[in-house]
Amino acid sequence: MIIDKIVVAEDSELTAQMPSLANRITIHMRDGRRLCQEYGTTQNPRINVSDEEIERKFRDFAAPIMSPHRIQATLEIAWTLEQQRSMNDLMAAILAT
């Protein structure tokens, strides 16, 4: 099972950036290649994060699985959640195919 191949290990470089939420994922391929990508933020997510930074982070995470149109539609709804009657429109934008 794939779960048996997953190893979680502390990275001292990322730990030193606490209280950030940065993470590094490395995939070791059978052919010897290593695929590595960092995700998250190197800043404290609770302090001084602008709307633009939040939006950029969402776009970065969503880009591999959502079209630019779906990302924009989702953001437009998310930024007005306090005005929405329910979560239906947001969920529809996220789950649209």
pTM of model > 0.95: no
Residue 46: the pLDDT is 59
Query: How many angstroms separate the CA atoms of 88 and 67, rounded?
Result: 19
Q: Helices 68-78 and 88-95, interaxial angle, to 10°?
A: 160
How far apart (Å, rounded) are the C-alpha atoms in residues 57 and 30? 31
Joined tokens for residue 79:
């930024």
pLDDT at 79: 93
Q: How far apart are CA 77 and CA 26, in angstroms?
A: 33
> How far from 73 is each of 25, 62, 69, 93, 96, CA to CA, in Å?
28, 12, 6, 6, 10
Tens place of pLDDT per residue across the chain (97 aa): 667 788 888 888 877 877 777 788 888 888 999 988 887 765 555 566 788 988 998 999 999 999 999 999 999 999 998 888 888 899 999 988 6
